[in-house]
Chain A
Amino acid sequence: MGRGQFVRMLRAERQPMSSSVVEISKTAPVWAAYRSREGCFDEMLDISRRPESGCSAIAEALFAMPPSRLAELSDRAEQMFRRMGVTFNVYGEQAGTERIFPFDPVPRIIDAATWAQLEAGLIQRVKALNAFVADVYGEGAIMKDGIVPREIVLGCPQFRRAAVGIKPPHDNFITVAGIDLVRGADGRFYVLEDNARTPSGVSYVIENRVVMTRLMPDLIRTSRIRSVERYPCDLLTSLCEIAPGGKSDPCIALLTPGPYNSAFFEHVFLSQQMGIELVEGQDLVCCDHKLYAKTVHGLKQVDVLYRRVDDDFIDPLVFRSDSMLGVAGLTSVLRAGNAVIANGIGTGVADDKAIYAYTPHMIRYYLAEEPILPIVETLLLRQADMRDTVLRNPEKYVVKPTGASGGYGVVIGPHASEQELEKVCQQILKEPEAFIAQPVVQLSLHPTIVHGRDGTARLQPRHIDFRPFVLLGARARVLPGGLTRVALREGSLIVNSSQGGGSKDTWVVEA
């Protein structure tokens, strides 16, 4: 069967929402049974429809695999992850419960042209966010010029007064950013939210690829996919570039909250890949405005700390005094310029959900450029007119608390019960500045293996999002790929690993 014919058949298979999936008989090819949903963008169908993207052959090869083969691959993937110990911990369960991040072996493909556009947009955005943080804790020009209201910045729960006046090399506050993107019904990527504090997930990107090269070696070899292996090396380079005083061989360490943190595996993985020490707060001590690690041979000075501990816990002398995870006196070390931490203190001001509404203005203000990546329309509930609009029809909106991350506290209007809507409306009235609302974005769909109760496997459309990672050192670097998260429950829009999401490998095809 020629490619043209294959594509035509796929097109013909697109059905309205009501008929979601048909059982596959043993002889029929997989794609014959695959039905996507009207009103959403299906990434795999789109790729197979556009031969000019250069990726339709990959889609065709994937669609040609029988579901039993794909199911076998997903079993093998799980075994590999278990053996490799690629796990995350779930909060609220027994301390230290390790889980495998569910993995779907059907990869998501991004063509070279789309990626080039994304990459430019991501670099632009992170540069502007970083400039914003440096400005907020420096001159405050953007507030003086009335582009972003001062009360929103200062009232932001992640604003850290203690960071005012800290001047890291290159004005580098956001060394690592994870930008969450979704693909709307129009096929465009939108920024859903920024993660400028301690974004996680990059270890799964790299380990997913390791597993995929074992599962589908031939397809990967022929598809010319860009490698994701360089990330730890790029991260280390970025961390070296921001060392205090341009020190050429800085001592770098990764600070972890410890083995009960949900991302502990990632902390171990990254320090192993970069060949740097993995430290806990108890391993560090500050004296004479310098940061030291307690080694078997005495104290050793640390120049750069890649920290995966939140601001609130990083320095008990300045932030939460009950924290056992940080280092007393770290803030004064930073102020003295004797060490640098990545990301800097207070970067959360840039990924605040209310500040998000102003990000296009920031890009124009700092870079004098038009934003390449659009954002989702955002209603600030502190503003009476916007609040009334949302309170009148809460079922039409997604309501998000501005201070939280990880999908906690998000209410999706169309999926919420009467009581849930009632409750969130009351919360909004009580504390309007703590919430924003956005229209429901139809996350794109992607064929995903679904295991039936009877043991059969089928391809069904599931919602996905995307978190690419951007590094900012002396220059910007983007990991060619990213974490594609998939909502494994039918119809669900929540992709967070803490709430039943899984992941896919993301293939960025070479230009």
Chain B
Amino acid sequence: MLRRIANHLFWMARNLERAEWRARLVDVNYHLLIETPPRGTSPWDPMLAIFGERALFAERYSTADEASVLKFMTIDAENPSSIRNCINLARENGRFVRHHISSELWLDINTLYLNAMDWTAAIFDSPGVFMFFADLKDCFYRIAGVLQSTIPRDLSYDFMWLGIMLERAEDVSRMLDVKYHFLLPRLADVGGPLDMQQWAAVLRSASGLEAYRKSHGNLIRLEKIIDILLFDSTFPRSAKFALDEVAGALDRIGRGASCEMKRETPALSQLRAELTTRSPKEVIKQGLHEFLLKVQDSCTEIYRQLVEQYLTVD
């Protein structure tokens, strides 16, 4: 496996995962705001905050209203991480590695790309929004399924899997952070129905509401949410699950390497250890937002070590 090819496979997969999470977040936020129209505060601002895109948005739009944010996050060509751009990047990287992926996978990615190139602001005319995101999610599920059922479990798969899982760990922590930015109207609302409704929406973004109810019952409690989305090693969209997969892929890749190449990156071992030994309660007490930032920083560091070890050509 060439280092350059490994890099393209990684980024192809990572951009697909990124596009999917963006779609999920925008979708859930949109529908949450229909059910509980916000009072006063700018309800789309948290979306921009969790992706760190307030400044970029402000350069191009005057107010963070629904139409502008939807456009910015979905189809804006000037926003490097709009859903359309993520799909475009996935496909651009895919072009280099068509000989490493199945033609079925390429066909699905290319079709998604061709569709995305045709998107216009008209997709946000209600009631089209629901169908748009439902269809888009289907595309991602389809691609994920084709990937699982057509790619041999070799290095190509491992580098794609790394891209998917590293992005997932990072995105799930960003998503949890949305509540940090999403201020409740009054202090008294904490733990109230609106608060719970927002947490339920967060779970739904990760397709985790049903899994939550199955294992933790009907009552939505913060520490249980943190548990399922960060610490649970069985739920496929939790940070722990994703990081275990990252470790697994790195281990398989490392098996072919000479012994001087280290198998696990220190940042990864450390973060996985924390997710094993610490408890949700403890994390909430010491500051959830800080902990989530730490997860994101660790993901950046894991990527940096990955690049150094396997992906740079020079």
Contact = CB atoms under 8 A, between A and B. Distances in A.
Contacts of A276: 99
Interface residues of A, number: 24
Nearest to A279: B2
A294 B107 CA distance: 29
A277 B5 contact: yes
B151 interface: no
Most chain B CB inside 10 Å of its own CB: which residue of A82, A84, A296, A297: A296
A298 interface: yes
A297 B311 CA distance: 10
A267 B279 CA distance: 52
Contacts of A298: 257-258
A22 B291 CA distance: 77
Interface string B5-22: 110000000000000000
Contact of B155 (A82, A282, A296): A296
A272 B98 CA distance: 7
Given A82-B114, A83-B107, A83-B114, A268 B4 contact: no
Q: Which of B1, B6, B107, B311 has the most CB of A within 10 A?
A: B1
Given A84-B110, A297-B256, A283 B4 contact: yes
Nearest to A253: B2
A283 B313 contact: yes
A71 interface: no
B203 to A, nearest CB: 36
B272 interface: no
A271 B95 CA distance: 12
B270 interface: no
B253 A296 contact: yes
B96 interface: yes
B112 to A, nearest CB: 11
Contact of A84 (B4, B107, B253, B257): B107
A293 interface: yes
Contacts of B114: 82-83
Interface in A76-91: 82-85
A277 B111 contact: no
B310 interface: yes
B303 interface: no
A504 to B, nearest CB: 23
Contacts of B199: none
B221 interface: no
A84 B109 CA distance: 10
Interface in A286-302: 293-298
Contacts of A279: 2
B281 interface: no
Nearest to A300: B2
A297 B95 CA distance: 23
A432 interface: no
A283 B2 contact: yes
A180 interface: no
Nearest to B253: A296
Nearest to A258: B96
Contacts of A294: 2-4, 313
Given A268-B95, A277-B2, A283-B3, A296 B106 contact: no
Contacts of B2: 277, 279, 283, 293-296
A296 B310 contact: yes
B152 to A, nearest CB: 12
Contacts of A282: 4, 313
Contacts of B110: 83-85
Contacts of B155: 296
Contacts of A295: 1-3
Interface in B239-298: 253, 256-258, 261
Interface of B: 1-6, 95-96, 98-99, 103, 106-107, 110-111, 114, 155, 253, 256-258, 261, 310-311, 313
Closest 6 A/B residue pairs (Cβ): A272-B99, A271-B99, A296-B310, A268-B98, A85-B110, A297-B256
16 contacts: A83-B111, A84-B110, A259-B95, A264-B95, A278-B5, A278-B96, A278-B99, A282-B313, A283-B313, A294-B2, A294-B4, A296-B253, A296-B256, A296-B257, A297-B1, A297-B256
